[in-house]
Amino acid sequence: MSFTSSDESEDAESYVLHDAAEAGDIEKLTNALSISAAAASDNDANSDLQINLNLRDHHNCTALHVAVLNGQLECCRRLIEAGASLKPRCEGAPLLVLAVCAGSSESKRAFALDAAELFTSAGCSAWDRDDERRLPLHWGASLGLAEVCKLLVAKGQAEPLKDEDGNEVPRPSMLEAKDRRGDTAIHWAARHRQGSVLEALLACCSSPKVLELQNKRGSSALHAAAESGCLDCSRVLLESNPACASLLDSLGRTPLQVAEAFGHARLAHLLASASSGAELAAAAAAANGDDGGIRRPQTVLFAPDACLEHRTHPEPLLRGSCGGLPPENVCRLHVLLDKGKGALRASEFSGLEIDTESRPAEMADVLRVHEWGYLQRIQSACAKIPDDPTSVSHLDPDTAISHGTWRAGLVAAGAVCRAIDSVVQGKAKNAFCAVRPPGHHAGPTGVVPSQHDPNGSLGFCLINNVAVGASYALDKWRSEIRRVVILDFDVHHGNGTEACTVSTIPSSRTFTYKTPFSSITQTISCYKPWLGIEDPNNILFASVQGYGRKHISLDSYVYPGSGATSDSRPQAPPDTAAPVLNAAGLPEDPRGEFLTAPDAEVAPAEAPRVINIGIPGPGAHVKLWRRAWRDKILPAVVAFSPDLILISAGFDAHAKDEINFGYLGITEPDFEWLTDQICQVANSCCGGRVVSVLEGGYRIHGGIVSAFGRSVAAHVRALSNINDRRWSPKTAELERKAEAEEELRRQEAARLKAERQAREGGRVKRRRAAVDYVALNAEMDVAAGGGSGATAEAEAAAPPEDPAEVSKKQRSLGSEQDPEDGVEHGQQQEQEQLLAADVRADWEGQGGRGMERCAGAEGGSLTEGGGAPAEDETAGATEPEPLLEEQQEGTVEEPTAGPETEAVDEARDSTGFGVEDRRDPDQEEQQPEDEDGLPSTRAVPEDPKLEDKPQQQQQQKEEEEEEERWEDVETAANGEGETLEKRGGESGLPAGERVEGLQGG
Calpha distance 818→832 (Å, rounded): 15
pLDDT at 899 > cutoff 90: no
Region 605-619 average pLDDT: 96
pLDDT at 896 > cutoff 70: no
Q: Are residues 275 and 306 in the same domain?
A: no
- Grade residue 208 by pLDDT with cuts at 50, 70 and 90: confident
Calpha distance 205→172 (Å, rounded): 11
Q: Are residues 844 and 945 in the same domain?
A: yes
Classify residue 90 by its DSSP letter. Answer: B
Region 683-700 average pLDDT: 97
pLDDT given for residue 164 in this prediction = 86
Region 716-737 average pLDDT: 91
* The one-letter amino acid at 702: G
Q: Is 483 or 988 the better-scoring residue by pLDDT?
A: 483
Calpha distance 551→548 (Å, rounded): 8
pLDDT at 612 > cutoff 80: yes
- Grade residue 466 by pLDDT with cuts at 50, 70 and 90: very high
Q: How many CB atoms lie within 10 A of CB 715?
A: 24
| Domains identified in the chain, total number | 4
Dihedral sign for Cα atoms in the order 344, 346, 351, 357: positive
Query: Do strands 690-694 and 644-649 pair parallel, antiparallel, or not at all (unpaired)?
Result: parallel
- Grade residue 888 by pLDDT with cuts at 50, 70 and 90: very low
How many Cα neighbours within 13 Å face the side chain of 879? 15
- Grade residue 859 by pLDDT with cuts at 50, 70 and 90: very low
pLDDT given for residue 940 in this prediction = 34
Among 527-541, 739-753, 918-932, the range with the most confident prediction by mean pLDDT is: 527-541
| pLDDT, tens digit (0-9, with 9 covering 90-100), for 737-756 | 988 998 999 999 999 999 99
Q: How many CB atoms lie within 10 A of CB 572?
A: 17
How many Cα neighbours within 13 Å face the side chain of 221? 40
Q: Is 995 or 53 the better-scoring residue by pLDDT?
A: 53
pLDDT given for residue 292 in this prediction = 37
Element (H, E) at 544: strand 539-546
Q: Map residue 733 onto helix, strand or coil.
A: helix
pTM of the model: 0.76
Q: Are residues 274 and 381 in the same domain?
A: no
pLDDT given for residue 960 in this prediction = 55
pLDDT given for residue 578 in this prediction = 61
CB 653 within 8 A of CB 660: yes
CB 175 within 8 A of CB 201: yes
Q: Are residues 163 and 185 in the same domain?
A: yes
Q: How many CB atoms lie within 10 A of CB 370?
A: 26
Calpha distance 502→557 (Å, rounded): 23
pLDDT given for residue 260 in this prediction = 92
- Grade residue 294 by pLDDT with cuts at 50, 70 and 90: very low
Region 130-145 average pLDDT: 96
Q: Are residues 199 and 226 in the same domain?
A: no
Domain holding 248: CATH number? Answer: 1.25.40.20
Backbone angles phi, psi at 499, to 5 degrees: -65, -40
Backbone angles phi, psi at 610, to 5 degrees: -125, 120
Calpha distance 692→695 (Å, rounded): 9
Q: Is 752 or 4 the better-scoring residue by pLDDT?
A: 752
* The one-letter amino acid at 527: Y
Q: In percent, how much of the chain has pLDDT > 90?
A: 60
pLDDT given for residue 806 in this prediction = 40
pLDDT given for residue 585 in this prediction = 82
Q: Has residue 734 been placed in a domain?
A: no
Residue range(s) defining the domain that contains residue 991 = 747-995
Residues 6+ apart with CB under 8 A from 798: 848, 852
pLDDT given for residue 961 in this prediction = 54
Q: Is 121 or 580 the better-scoring residue by pLDDT?
A: 121
Task: Single out the residue of 656, 713, 654 nearest to residue 105, CA to CA.
Answer: 713
Q: Are residues 258 and 314 in the same domain?
A: no
Region 983-999 average pLDDT: 32
pLDDT at 9 > cutoff 80: no
Question: 7-21, 716-730, 757-771: lowest mean pLDDT where?
Answer: 757-771
Q: Has residue 2 been placed in a domain?
A: no
pLDDT at 492 > cutoff 80: yes
The torsion angle over the Cα atoms of residues 134, 139, 140 and 143, rounded to 10 degrees, is 160
The per-residue DSSP string of 958-990 comes to HHHHHHHHHHHHHHHHTTT-EETTTTTTTT-SP
Final residue of a domain: which of 293, 324, 353? 293
Mean pLDDT, all residues of the chain? 79
Backbone angles phi, psi at 545, to 5 degrees: -150, 170
Q: Has residue 961 been placed in a domain?
A: yes
Q: Is 41 exposed, middle or buried (0-12, 13-18, 19+ CB in 10 A)?
A: exposed
pLDDT given for residue 800 in this prediction = 46
pLDDT given for residue 667 in this prediction = 95
Region 914-929 average pLDDT: 37
Query: Do strands 566-567 and 519-526 pair parallel, antiparallel, or not at all (unpaired)?
Result: unpaired
Calpha distance 164→159 (Å, rounded): 16
pLDDT given for residue 48 in this prediction = 61
Q: Are residues 404 and 305 in the same domain?
A: yes
Q: Has residue 512 been placed in a domain?
A: no
Question: 240-244, 539-543, 822-826: lowest mean pLDDT where?
Answer: 822-826
832 φ/ψ sector (left φ>0, alpha ψ -120 to 50, else beta) = alpha
- Grade residue 418 by pLDDT with cuts at 50, 70 and 90: very high
pLDDT given for residue 768 in this prediction = 58
Q: Are residues 279 and 329 in the same domain?
A: no
Final residue of a domain: which of 293, 324, 339? 293
pLDDT given for residue 163 in this prediction = 86
pLDDT at 547 > cutoff 90: yes
State yes or no: cis peptide before 573, omega within 30 of 0: no
pLDDT at 473 > cutoff 50: yes
Calpha distance 564→872 (Å, rounded): 42
Q: Is 662 or 870 the better-scoring residue by pLDDT?
A: 662
The stretches of 24-145 forming alpha helices (DSSP H) are 26-40, 63-69, 73-81, 95-102, 109-122, 136-143
Calpha distance 812→940 (Å, rounded): 20
Q: Has residue 4 been placed in a domain?
A: no
Question: 336-340, 830-834, 974-978: lowest mean pLDDT where?
Answer: 974-978
Calpha distance 742→745 (Å, rounded): 5
- Grade residue 714 by pLDDT with cuts at 50, 70 and 90: very high
- Grade residue 825 by pLDDT with cuts at 50, 70 and 90: very low
Calpha distance 890→769 (Å, rounded): 9
Task: Single out the residue of 869, 871, 857, 878 nearest to residue 930, CA to CA.
Answer: 871
Q: Map residue 995 onto helix, strand or coil.
A: strand
pLDDT given for residue 293 in this prediction = 38
Calpha distance 689→428 (Å, rounded): 9
Q: Has residue 613 been placed in a domain?
A: yes
pLDDT given for residue 288 in this prediction = 56
Q: Are residues 376 and 477 in the same domain?
A: yes
Residue 519, beta-bridge partner list: 514
The per-residue DSSP string of 787-843 comes to --HHHHHHHHHSPPPPHHHHHHHHHHTT----GGGSTTHHHHHHHHHHHHHHHHHHH
The per-residue DSSP string of 842-886 comes to HHHHHTTTT-TTTT-STT----TT-PPP-HHHHTT-SS--PPPHH
pLDDT given for residue 775 in this prediction = 73
CB 859 within 8 A of CB 923: yes
pLDDT given for residue 953 in this prediction = 52
Backbone angles phi, psi at 612, to 5 degrees: -120, 135
pLDDT given for residue 805 in this prediction = 46
pLDDT at 876 > cutoff 50: no
Element (H, E) at 430: strand 430-433
Q: Has residue 368 been placed in a domain?
A: yes
Q: Is 273 or 398 the better-scoring residue by pLDDT?
A: 398
Q: Are residues 771 and 797 in the same domain?
A: yes
Region 560-573 average pLDDT: 90
Q: How many CB atoms lie within 10 A of CB 579?
A: 16
Domain holding 487: CATH number? Answer: 3.40.800.20
CA–CA distance from 32 to each of 26, 82, 772 (Å)? 10, 11, 52
Region 609-635 average pLDDT: 96
| pLDDT, tens digit (0-9, with 9 covering 90-100), for 568-611 | 998 766 555 566 787 778 889 999 999 999 999 999 999 999 99
Classify residue 655 by its DSSP letter. Answer: T
pLDDT given for residue 575 in this prediction = 57
Region 455-475 average pLDDT: 98
Calpha distance 919→825 (Å, rounded): 10
Q: Are residues 920 and 971 in the same domain?
A: yes
Q: Has residue 175 been placed in a domain?
A: yes
Final residue of a domain: which of 250, 271, 293? 293
Question: 493-497, 587-591, 636-640, 863-867: lowest mean pLDDT where?
Answer: 863-867
CB 580 within 8 A of CB 602: no
Dihedral sign for Cα atoms in the order 663, 666, 671, 676: negative
Q: Are residues 625 and 484 in the same domain?
A: yes
Region 72-84 average pLDDT: 96
